[in-house]
Structure 1
Amino acid sequence: MMKLNPLILSALLTHGIVAFAEENQATMMHHQHPVETTEAPLSEAGNDAFGTIQEVIARLNSNPDTDWSKVNIEALRQHLVDMNDMTLNVEVISQKAVQQGLVAIVKPTTARSAAALKRVFTAHPAQLKRDTGWDMQIVKTGDRYTLTTTTENPGEVSKIRGLGYIGLMASGGHHQLHHWAMATGVNPHARHQ
């Protein structure tokens, strides 16, 4: 075994400790004074609901004419919770092709999703008709909903079947307009009632 001269050992240890301390200090200073950047290092704000709300707030902030006394971000948040429930907390029991379309039977899996489906199904058939021309009839039996969606256009029957329950609920570009209306204090369904 090789023996190190105590003086050399002391010098090596001192150099190592000084080098470690300098590196550690540089790291700490970097964290205390982050490099200024105009671009966020991430593109996602969190989950999709949070990101939608953040986008709405950014748009409201960028508009000098925003009437903040009418803004209602909570209404938008509640609607986004409903959308989450109708997407994730619903059991799709069956989807069956019928002449001119599809019949889907769905059932909420939580009390919250039961309330969400009731609210969403009140407005969605009329909106789907405006967006696509398709007819959606909804019948509630016990805790299940039967959605029958049909079209007069034979070329769109396979599209309805391919979309299925959640695709039919997500169809159309009206969702973004509805979200903006809710956030700015406007009832998005007022003109359709």
Structure 2
Amino acid sequence: MDIFGNKVDEDGNSIDEFGNKIDIRDYFRSNGVLVEDVQRDNEYSRMLSEKIVQAYRVNNVAMPAHIVSFAAFHIFQQMHTTSDLYSVLRMPAEFRRIPYQKLLQSVKNLQDELVRMSEKGKIRIGALVEAEPEELLQYGLKSLGVYHAKKPLRKEKKTGDIVCQDMKTLLFYHNRLTGYGLEKHV
């Protein structure tokens, strides 16, 4: 992508929506002369930002850790509907648990929707996203804590519940799937 959001070929040439090479210097000219135009530049910046967001959305790769985090975080939000984001992040430890089957069902619902979206080119999915929901959940839980001293989520041996040890890190991983309208599938 060039600085205006146009596609770029392998040689670095900007390409318009019809597949033609274009000279981006023309974007800065008026009657063949380079001119400064703040309003034009602001509009180009706005258009580029929209293209960047659009490219991010379709090139984002949904991984098991993102799916599990998204599901868990939204379950916590549903459990505390009167709370704002900061209240959810400061939720006491005794409330930060989810029954395993509830999380598994939410992960399956998200998985089904993400596969549909991937087939339409709206997002990319990692290979394990098409695994059985149980395997996806287990891998998501395992990979979620690899880089952190406190695992964002872990399965409690005694009850089988999923317990959150770090809400801020859970939110971080959850955020990879925001903006796709997936909340209704949790």
User: Please, what TM-score do these two structures have when normalized by structure 2?
Assistant: 0.22
Structure number with the bigger relative contact order (C-alpha 8 A, sep ≥ 6) is 2
* TM-score (norm. length: structure 1): 0.21
Which structure: greater strand fraction?
1
Which has the larger Rg?
1
